[in-house]
Amino acid sequence: MKALFIVVGMIALVFSLGISADVDAKPLGNRTGIVICAYDTTTSACDYTADGINDEEQINQALSSLPVTGGSVYLTGGHFSIGDSGVAHGGVVITKSGTHLQGSGLGTKLTLMAGTLDTNVIEVVGDGIANVVISDLWIDANRANQQASTLPAIFQSNGIRVSSSEAATGYSNASNITVRDVRVEECANLCVMMRGSDLTIEDSRFGNASNDVVELLQGPGSITNNHFEITARTGVVISTDAANDILISGNTVTITSKAVVGVGIRTWHGFRRNNVQNNIINVAGGGMLKYAMLIGTSRSIVSGNTIQADGKRIRMLITASPVLLTGNYLCYVDITINAIYNDVSGGGDLGVVIGDNILHNTTITVVE
C-alpha cells in the first residue's frame, strides 16, 4: 500500500438545484381527470371524497375507473390516510400505463397508517407498465409506527415502489416512470425504489429511511436536482443497484447534527456508466457519515462534486476502473482507490484517473 497526498487547483463549480417551493395547495384550474377530495379539504368539486380512514380505497377506485390507456387522478390538498389495499403490497396501487397521479403540492399529504405490515404507500406494478408520473404530493411513510417487515428479500414497506412485477424476472420491464416534485420521508425500508428503464427521480425532497432513501435498479435512469435532509439513522442516501447508464446530478445531501448515515452516494459494483456529477454532500457538526461515496461502477465519471465535512474525516472508496475523478472540491475526505472490479473489455487497463481537484485536508491511498 502506498499513500499519495495531492493538492491540485483549477476548478470552477456550477451547481443546479430544482426544488419546488413549499405551497399549501395548487388550484384545480382547468385540470382534466378524476378529482379525489381529502376529508379535510375546502374543495367541493369532487368525483370521490375520502373519509380519513383507509383512503387508498377511494384512490384505487378512481385509478381502476381509468380507461386502459390511463389518465389523470388528482388529489386535492388535505390529508389522506393510507392502509394496505390487499393488492400486491401497495396502499395506493397503479397498474395502468399512461397514469398520472398528481397532488396539489405539499398541501397533499399521504400518511401510512400505524401498524401496517409490508405496505408501500404507492406501488406501481404491472407487466410492461409504462409512462407513469407521480407528482406534487407529500408522503409520510411513518416508519416509527410500522410492524417489522417479514419480507426483507423483496423490499416492501417503501414510500414508492416501481417494478413490472414483485418477482425479479420473467416480466417485461417497467419503463418511462417519473417521480417529480414530491416529498417522501420516514420510510421503514426505502423511500423510492424503482426497477426498470427510463426511470426519473427529480426536483424532489427526501428525508430519513432505514435502508436506501432512493434507489434505481437496471437503468437507464437519472436522479437529479433533489434535496435530501437526513436527521436520523439512515442507510444509504442515493443508490444504484445492478444498474447501467445512470446519471446522479445536481443533488444536495445534508447530514444534520443528529444523523448517523452509512453512505452518501453508492453505485453498485460490476456495472457500468453511473456518472456522479455536480452534487453537494455536507456533513454538519455532530453528524456522522461513514462513506461520502462508494463508487463501484466502471466507465464512470465523478466530477464537479463538493464534499464538505465540518472538521471531521469521512471516507470515499473507488473499487472499479476505469473511473475519472476530476473537478471536485473535497474537504476532510480520505480517498481509497482499490480497483478490484477492473473493466478491460474495451482493451487495456485504463485505471483510475485523478486530476484537477481541490483537495483540502484530503488524502489519497492507492491499494496496489
Cα distances (angstroms) measured from residue 157 to each of 103, 205, 354: 21, 19, 40
**Structure confidence at residue 309 (pLDDT):** 86
Concatenated DSSP letters of 69-105: T-EEEEEPSEEEEE---SBTTEEEEE-STTEEEE-SS
Domain segments of the chain: what residues?
1-19+230-368, 30-173
pLDDT profile of the chain (368 residues), mean per 10: 34 30 38 86 89 96 94 97 89 96 97 92 94 98 81 76 72 90 96 97 97 96 98 97 96 95 95 97 92 96 94 92 96 92 66 94 91
- Go through 55-84 and write b for each residue having 16 or more CB atoms within 10 A of its CB, e for each that does not: bbbbbbebbeebeeebbbbbbbbbbbbbbb
Q: Do residues 4 and 357 make contact, with C-beta atoms less than 8 angstroms apart?
A: no
Concatenated DSSP letters of 145-212: GSPPPS-GGGT-S-SEEEES-SSSSSSPPPEEEEEEEEEEE-BSS-SEEEEEEEEEEES-EE--BSSE
pTM score, whole prediction: 0.89
- Go through 304-334 and write b for each residue having 16 or more CB atoms within 10 A of its CB, e for each that does not: bbbbbbeeeebebbbbbbbbbbebbbbbbbb
CATH of region 30-173: 2.160.20.10
**Structure confidence at residue 168 (pLDDT):** 54
- The C-alpha cell of 55 is what? 383512503
Query: Would you mind telling me the total number of residues written for the chain in this entry?
Result: 368
